[in-house]
Amino acid sequence: MGEGPAAAVPDDRTRHEDPVARTPHGAVRGRYENGVAVFRGIPYAAPPFGPGRFRPPAPPEPWDGVRDAGAFGPTPPKPPYSEAFAKLLHDPAVPGDDCLNLNVWTPEPGPGARLPVLVWIHGGALTRGSSAMPVYDGRAFARDGVVFVSLNYRLGVEGFALFPDAPANLGLRDQLAALEWVRDSIAGFGGDPDRVTVFGESAGAISIGALLASPRALGLFRRAALQSGAPEVTERDRVRRVVRRMAARLRVPATARAFAAVDRAALLAAQAEAGRRSGPVLGGPAFGIVVDGDVVPGDPLEALTEGRGARDVDLLLGWTSEEYRLWLAPTGLLRRLDRLGPLGPLALAAARARCRCGPEVPRGYRLARPGAGAAELVGQMVTDFLLRAPLRRLADGHGARSYVYEFAWPSNVPGLGACHALELGFVFDTAHTPDAARLTGPGAPQPLADEMHTAWTRFATTGTPGWPHWDTSHPVRVFGSGGPPLARGLRDRELALWLRPGGGGPRSSPRP
């Protein structure tokens, strides 16, 4: 593509003045940290409260002078994780209404550098998470010559509820507004608006799947990386059920106008209770992206596999080898399923109902994994249904512009294995930090972080991560397995089960 790798930035560079950059709304002052310029908490849209509550994002009010951008801005309202998940997933909350903000790490602030840009959309089941999580520190990308942007967007009931008197997919509209800010502003931070890669994990990857098929996103990014999340939409009635449950608990009508008048703490408490039984294994009512005829005109997976949507976008797609362990281990469900031994009638019925498949699918998994317990069989079935089968369909439809990976290094935390979200510290080269160690445990291998971080940086810079593109031999780059780095036909036997009659279809729900 005529793009060479960007030059790395020396770590020992010193600066005597804080960096200043200009946006369409005003100038911002960041900080030099470890040789790169960092700007935090830049508003890309007005606070989504007061008149803006349950409304599409609006431009922020311009400011005079130079606005300080030295600290993370407010995070969107969200309930805390349960105690079991909080031990593994640190989710800081910053109070304040001006939560539609973003952060920039750059090696060369100011116009003229024209460096590649990476834009991060965080995960968290569309109900939790933020750009302030320490694992998402962008210094390593800026160190290696890439301008890195991370953003906040509305979550849960504020961002993904369905009301008769408000637009749908407000959180997705926030993401679009942030990408438009990148298009209009990133040159002032040293970035090239024509070389933008958007990447995300879990719900962030699901969001990117919708953006890939959205006419509103055309031209906003050139490449995309989807980590452990596939294009999908949630049934509108599932979202309505969450809203109705909240309305009953709050004793208000199920309208945006009524919800906007509710105290924020009470609203979050009702949201947490209403979504208590949602999740990838249990299913149940949940917030999610829905078809709205506007931002999401139809099912994004169907659109992309049928050749509609972003055909000229390079794709990096993948998963971890034991995604399900983060969904099951912290709550003890993994142990309870394992006590069942082989896949028995009760677990079989639950797996078939969750994955909407015939008996051929679990029978095929038992043949492919002789001796596996119920937890592994159910977990891998759900993982393939939610993630691998639809991502494979996406790669098949995108062909030579797609690259597929699997993360296989098992965590040093007992029971987690190569679980959902474990790869994040390696992609960001933050696996050595205390925050990442919640998932990795002690002694995360730095060479593995070097490999993954280099691959993502190379993809953003050149369009290829360093292994063969997807073709009929199904090449998969395997990180951290201890075996050959490239496997062809990995998981073909099990994934083929989903293409047969009775194999169900890739429809899912947001991940925890």
Q: Which residues are tagged catalytic?
A: 202, 323, 420
- Cβ neighbors of 406 (< 8 A, separation 6 or more) are 318, 319, 320, 321, 476, 477, 478, 479, 481, 487, 490
Sheet harboring 101-106: ordered strands across? 31-33, 36-43, 101-106, 147-151, 115-121, 191-201, 223-227, 314-320, 402-407, 475-479, 486-488
Alpha-helical segments (H) within 188-340: 203-212, 236-250, 256-260, 264-274, 300-305, 324-328, 333-338
Distance CA 80, CA 167 (A): 26
Distance CA 439, CA 424 (A): 10
Q: Concatenated DSSP letters for 230-259?
A: ------HHHHHHHHHHHHHHHTS-SSHHHH
Query: How many other C-beta atoms lie within 10 A of the C-beta of residue 335?
Result: 12
- Cβ neighbors of 372 (< 8 A, separation 6 or more) are 342, 365, 366
- Cβ neighbors of 227 (< 8 A, separation 6 or more) are 199, 200, 201, 202, 204, 205, 318, 319, 423, 424, 427
